[in-house]
Amino acid sequence: MAPSQLYSQLYELARRHGEGDDILSLRSPDAKHAWGHNRLVSLNPTLQNVMDNEAFAAHLKTTGRLLAGFNSKIHEITVDEYQRMATIRMSYYLSTLISDEVVENDLIWTLKFTKQGEVEGDPNRVLIKESIEFVDATANARLGALIRDAQVEIGKDVKGGLGILLN
């Protein structure tokens, strides 16, 4: 049996999000981004803000300036049409400007999508309205340590995983 049109739309949005090339264009104007896991978030201030699209774009830019290499691989995508959600399990393979070491950030994204008629100008268009990124704490802590060990300041404007400190 062929997948429904909605399933195909949600799957394609999740796939494109995972590939990351046009991630901001896939988001609704009022989309929000946050991080999980609850304990990790509670212990790391750089993960505590819920971001609108402007803040999310700034996060991508400030984090990107510290990274030299960025490759991704999607391992699996699960779509729930009824709840208009998708889950992506994937890996980012990252290196810093200071080290050739490649660190695998094995993570999970949960995405929620707009409902029919929510996107102004096109009642059939679907966009991402919420993303939660469950990062690999040890991978992010390793990347941050590589940057700090080279005496490069991460900067207070950098949000997200590079600010994770593990004790």
Residue 57, in any domain of the structure: yes
Residue 17, in any domain of the structure: no
pLDDT the model gives residue 165: 67
List, in order, residues 6 or more apart from 36 with CB less than 8 Å away.
110, 132, 133, 134
- In the chain, the amino acid numbered 146 is L
CATH assignment at residue 136: 3.10.450.50
Residue 37, in any domain of the structure: yes
- What is the domain count for the chain? 1
List, in order, residues 6 or more apart from 157 with CB less than 8 Å away.
58, 62
Q: What is the pTM of this model?
A: 0.91
- Average of per-residue pLDDT across 14-42: 93
Residue 18, in any domain of the structure: no
For the stretch 74-81, contacts whose Cβ atoms lie closer than 8 Å and that sit 24 or more positions apart, written own/partner, are: 74/15, 74/18, 74/19, 77/11, 77/14, 77/15, 77/18, 79/7, 79/10, 79/11, 79/14, 81/4, 81/6, 81/7, 81/10
Q: Which domain holds residue 88?
A: 31-163
Whether 89 contacts 111, CB under 8 Å: no
Cα Rg, the chain, nearest whole Å: 17
- Stronger pLDDT, 132 or 157, i.e. the higher one: 132
pLDDT the model gives residue 133: 95
85-123 pLDDT, tens per residue? 999 999 999 998 888 899 999 999 999 999 988 888 888
Residue 23, in any domain of the structure: no
Residue 25, in any domain of the structure: no
